[in-house]
Amino acid sequence: MPFKFEKLEVWQRSLDYIDQIYDLANLLPRSEEYNLKSQIVRAATSVSLNIAEGSTGQTNAEQARFLGMAIRSLVETVACQHIIARRKLLADPAPLHSIYRSAETLVAMLHTMRKHLVPEQTWLREEQSLYIIEDEDPAESSDRQT
């Protein structure tokens, strides 16, 4: 493996995540071909590409900046998962739970790597426990105001 990023466990995990996202995208209805399916696949791919691109940076700060973009793309995939769940686009929501857990692990790895590269930087992080994909009771969602 001649490239630095190929040795990174976080990059290898991002490839596994892409595989999960492609599998999820293939479960989406054809009507989402050019919307959520395309969006979630592109965002997941962006995670891996930003890790790779950042690894060629000349400074730790530059690599940390690309890791920040990877984190943003990963969060975008999580947002897509919430939309998929909310719109009930899957007959079985189980894949969403599994992919969500993978996203939690991957985002923690990205944050840790970024913190290691630029330890003096104060990074703002959201609490990981705030995001939960659950099967929503339809009665509760109709009570919610829009």
pLDDT digits (tens, 9 = 90+) for 56-88: 978 999 999 999 999 999 999 999 999 999 999
pTM of the predicted structure, to 2 decimals: 0.81
* Contacts by 125-128, CB closer than 8 A, 24 or more apart: 128/104
CATH fourth-level superfamily of 4-118: 23S rRNA-intervening sequence (1.20.1440.60)
Task: Give the pair of three-digit tokens for residue 99.
Answer: 């992919």
Token pair in block for residue 133: 């994909």
What is the C-alpha to C-alpha distance for residues 20 and 10, in angstroms, rounded to an integer? 15
Helix (H, G, I), strand (E, B) or coil at 1: coil
The alpha carbon of 112 is separated from its chain's Cα centroid by a whole number of angstroms, namely 15
Distance between CA atoms of residues 99 and 73, nearest Å? 15
**Residue pLDDT, tens place only, 38-58:** 999 999 999 999 999 999 978
Predicted pLDDT of residue 120: 80
Residue 21 reports pLDDT greater than 90: yes
Cα(32)–Cα(41) distance, integer angstroms:
12
